[in-house]
């Protein structure tokens, strides 16, 4: 079973007027990981898609999606898949990849139907592509690892880059994830915007009662959303994206837009936030 929800783009002037419920309805993606289902959120931010596939020991096939009006979902798209669950496998274009927890699979444009199986919980990201590139499994050991932040500022963290120019080539998809060290809570500080790209954050590895206070909005007109485990925030190009959590957590960041330059950020210092 495949379920697709569409999210329209929101102008920042409109976002300023939103109450909590409206803000969550437009920018929070929840309920994506349900046994026996593929659930996608199709956004009008760079036509980016986020979603989840939970085979539950059986197999699920992602093939035609009406929203793209193409013969198969990946006919004119590329995809990044992160396994946040147990051992699983993904098949496409006559190949099968075994994925452990934390592994990332890149599927190039034209890969055809995608089959998910095993005990994995698969986080799906996808965006339009202009050419076919080789599919590739990037394990946790293959990722480029960067340690940044400090204990003194409560943001010591490890960034693992997977679909990234320093690791592999893609059309416009950039993806990796960040894990906080024990005792650190801030995932991205100072905050930043990048008007040339949108971004999505999936928070996971959290206790059921834990929450992340996700900050968004324009730097001088900030808003917040409380996010639970396995929920994602869709971040428009005009919005900051930063947050602080209760207990340990990991967030998967994925972007699409004009370039694949991970460092293309316009930083906003804490004293300039409102």
- Low-confidence winner among 72-76, 173-177, 187-191 (lowest mean pLDDT): 187-191
Mean local confidence (pLDDT), 69-96: 98
For 168-224, the DSSP string reads: ---SS-EEEEEEEPTT--BSS-SEEE-TTEEEEEEEES--TT--EEEEEEETTEEEE
> Which residues, other chains included, contact 261 with Cβ-Cβ below 8 Å and sequence gap of 6+?
165
Mean local confidence (pLDDT), 111-131: 98
Mean local confidence (pLDDT), 93-122: 98
Mean local confidence (pLDDT), 151-158: 93
pLDDT at 27 over 90: yes
Our measurement of the distance from residue 122's CA atom to the centroid of its chain's CA atoms, rounded to an integer in Å, reads: 11
CA distance 119 to 54: 8
Residue 85 confidence (pLDDT): 97
Mean local confidence (pLDDT), 237-244: 96
> Which residues, other chains included, contact 263 with Cβ-Cβ below 8 Å and sequence gap of 6+?
none
Q: To the nearest whole number, what is the mean pLDDT of the chain?
A: 96
CA distance 87 to 99: 6
Per DSSP bridges, beta strands 157-163 and 144-148 are antiparallel
pLDDT at 189 over 90: no
Mean local confidence (pLDDT), 239-247: 94
Residue 161 confidence (pLDDT): 98
* Encoded tokens for 219: 């730097």
> Dihedral of the CA atoms 144, 150, 155, 160 (nearest 10)?
0
CA distance 141 to 169: 18
Of all residues in the chain, the percent with pLDDT exceeding 70 is 100
pLDDT at 265 over 90: yes
DSSP label at 34?
A: -
From the list 69, 31, 76, 23, the residue with the least C-alpha distance to 50 is 31
Residue 1 confidence (pLDDT): 83
Mean local confidence (pLDDT), 215-220: 97
Residue 150 confidence (pLDDT): 92
Mean local confidence (pLDDT), 2-10: 97
CA distance 128 to 109: 8
């Amino acid at each position: 079973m495949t379920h697709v929800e569409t999210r329209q783009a929101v102008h920042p002037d409109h976002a300023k007027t939103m109450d909590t419920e409206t803000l969550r309805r437009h920018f929070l993606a929840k309920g994506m990981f349900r046994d026996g289902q593929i659930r996608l959120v199709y956004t009008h931010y760079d036509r980016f898609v986020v979603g989840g596939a939970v085979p539950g020991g059986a197999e699920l096939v992602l093939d035609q999606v009406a929203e793209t009006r193409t013969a198969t979902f990946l006919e004119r798209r590329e995809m990044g898949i992160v396994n946040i669950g147990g051992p699983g496998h993904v098949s496409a274009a006559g190949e099968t990849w075994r994925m452990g927890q934390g592994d990332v699979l890149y599927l190039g444009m034209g890969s055809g139907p995608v089959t998910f199986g095993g005990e994995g919980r698969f986080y799906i990201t996808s965006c339009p592509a202009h050419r076919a590139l080789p599919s590739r499994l990037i394990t946790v050991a293959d990722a480029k690892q960067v340690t940044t932040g400090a204990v003194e500022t409560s943001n010591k963290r490890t960034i693992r880059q997977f679909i990234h120019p320093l690791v592999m080539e893609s059309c416009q998809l950039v993806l990796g994830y960040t894990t906080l060290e024990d005792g650190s809570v801030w995932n991205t500080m100072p905050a930043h915007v990048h008007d040339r790209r949108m971004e999505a954050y999936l928070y996971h590895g959290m206790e059921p009662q834990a929450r992340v206070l996700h900050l968004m909005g324009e730097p001088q007109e900030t808003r917040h959303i409380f996010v639970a485990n396995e929920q994602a925030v869709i971040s428009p190009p005009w919005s900051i994206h930063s947050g602080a959590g209760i207990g340990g957590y990991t967030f998967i960041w994925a972007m699409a837009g004009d370039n694949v330059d991970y460092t293309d950020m316009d930083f906003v210092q804490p004293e300039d936030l409102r």
